[in-house]
Structure 1
Amino acid sequence: MIRRLTPRLAALARRFQFLSFAAVGVVGFIVDTGVLYLAKDDLGLGLYAGRLLSFLVAATTTWLLNRVFTFGNPPVRSLLREWLHFLSVNSIGGLVNYGVYSGLVLTISRVTEHPVLGVAAGAIAGLAFNYLGTKHAVFRHRAAQLGR
Structure 2
Amino acid sequence: MRHAAALLGPQRLVLAQEFLRFGAVGTVGFAVDTAVLYAALWFAGAGPYGGRLLSYLAAATTTWALNRRWTFRDRRSTLSAARQWASFLVVNLVGFGSNYGTYAALVALSPFCARYPVVGVAAGALAGMAGNFFLSRRFVFGARPGRDP
TM-aligned CA deviation for residue 75 of structure 1:
5.9
| Aligned-pair identity (%) | 46
The structure with higher relative contact order (CA 8 Å, sep 6+) is 1
Counterpart in the other structure of 1:100? 102
One-letter amino acid of the counterpart of residue 92, structure 1: V
- Counterparts in 2 of 1:75 and 1:40: CA distance versus 1, 3 Å: same
TM-score when normalising by structure 2: 0.88
Runs of 4+ in 1 over 3 A off after TM superposition: 73-77
Q: Residue 55 of structure 2 corresponds to which residue in structure 1?
A: 54
Task: Provide the C-alpha distance between the structure 1 equivalents of 2:139 and 2:66, rounded to a whole number of angstroms.
Answer: 17
* Equivalent-residue separation in structure 2 for 1:41 and 1:56 (angstroms): 18
| Residue equivalent to 2:114 | 112
2:129 to 127, 130, 133: 127
User: Over the residues paired in the alignment, what is the CA RMSD in angstroms?
Assistant: 2.2
1:90 deviation in Å? Answer: 0.2
Deviation at 1:142, TM superposition (A): 2.9
| Structure 1 gap segments, 5+ residues each | 1-5
Runs of 5+ unmatched residues, structure 2? 1-5
Q: How many pairs were matched up?
A: 143
Matched, 1:30 2:31: yes
In the TM superposition, what is the alpha-carbon distance from 1:58 to its structure 2 partner? 0.0
User: What residue is the counterpart of 1:42 in the other structure?
Assistant: 43
Change (3 A) 1:77 1:108: closer
Alignment partners' CA distance in 1, 2:119 and 2:145: 32
Amino acid at match of 2:12: A
What secondary structure, in the 3-state scheme, does the structure 1 residue paired with 2:144 have?
helix
